[in-house]
Structure 1
């Protein structure tokens, strides 16, 4: 879990981004591809209180980032969407009879801001966004979940031309879980969330189109 000081920093960054006046200037669209690692948490069998671990496979991710220049130099509003197709695996069959894994799609939709210490909109930056994660099993027999999530990260924007940049990112994505709630399934399912959340790390790269 992120320390409290990072949560306060993130909240301040998001609040500043949302309340800052938007410059008449530019919008940036950045489709990206990445690789996401990590994501594990404990689940509990409500019948005997035994616990096991549920792990997400490390897989590719895809997404889109939209940035809008703010009037204050070196700051941008950011909207972030990503998708990861992965498999959640456990050593037990708590999720369903004779089932120890579930294929699912993880969606993130978040908003916040970027800060460039150099006062420009190129070079190194710090990012902070907050929003919602959707855990969406591909099997219709399992339930989807929507959970609050936040992301802290940093990266670099390298100009390639006047309107095209290369963007590199490294993000830590924390999703909050409802400890005690059912895991993906409802009727007859004994699996419950035991952890308060899980952390994933995403490395990504994409081309930025600036308008």
Structure 2
């Protein structure tokens, strides 16, 4: 059994529902603390929930047999962003993202990529109709191959990006988010390994000490 960075917090069998439940649970605790400190109800949303749909690209590995690059296919992604207001222009942020893709090669390999991130955003204070923002997060990435017996990989990851929100009413807004995700890998070790009675095999290894993906996403925000 191999232990990886982040596995103490995100076990291999941690389901998507568990990831979302953990994020929302932490969000509720943060909101309770924020509400207690603020006292009277503010004239801005204390909470914002943004389900989104996006497009994610980037990411490359190396074939252990041929030494050739094996890139990830660009594909759709989806997820949820939960914001808890520190004040009108600063928010604590919890983000879950999932992409179902495949690793290119002679024998393609299906791969699920998931990110669970915690951080914050800062918005431009004087904006009214279009509100730009910048944000950073840290957390974990989980890479789950579809091959029989292959192990998942959970690694430390972070993100940085920005976007803008367009308020539609008191409670609703449209949000566009562009973001890069950086996952730290070990270049000395193989990943996505399978073992059986005949021994262990590893089809992929890290191409470098990092794994970079980028995403553009559009979502609808509900605030209260």
Q: Same fold (TM over 0.5)?
A: yes
Q: Which residue of 2 aligns with 1:118?
A: 125
- Between the two proteins, the alignment pairs up a number of residues equal to 179
Where structure 2 has 5 or more consecutive residues not aligned to the other structure, the ranges are 1-29
If the length of structure 2 is used for normalisation, what is the TM-score?
A: 0.73
Alignment partners' CA distance in 1, 2:101 and 2:201:
22
SS of the equivalent of 1:153 reads strand
Alignment partners' CA distance in 1, 2:136 and 2:208:
23
SS of the equivalent of 1:189 reads strand
SS of the equivalent of 1:178 reads coil
Where structure 1 has 5 or more consecutive residues not aligned to the other structure, the ranges are 1-17, 92-99
SS of the equivalent of 1:22 reads helix
Q: Which residue of 1 aligns with 2:58?
A: 38
Q: Which residue of 1 aligns with 2:105?
A: 90
Task: Select between 145-154 and 135-144 the one with higher mean Cα deviation.
Answer: 135-144
Q: Which residue of 2 aligns with 1:140?
A: 148
RMSD: 2.1
Q: Which residue of 2 aligns with 1:105?
A: 112
Give the one of 38, 47, 50 matched to 1:27. 47
Q: 1:41·1:197 contact (CA, 8 Å) conserved in 2?
A: no
Alignment partners' CA distance in 1, 2:127 and 2:151:
45
Alignment partners' CA distance in 2, 1:169 and 1:140:
35
SS of the equivalent of 2:81 reads strand
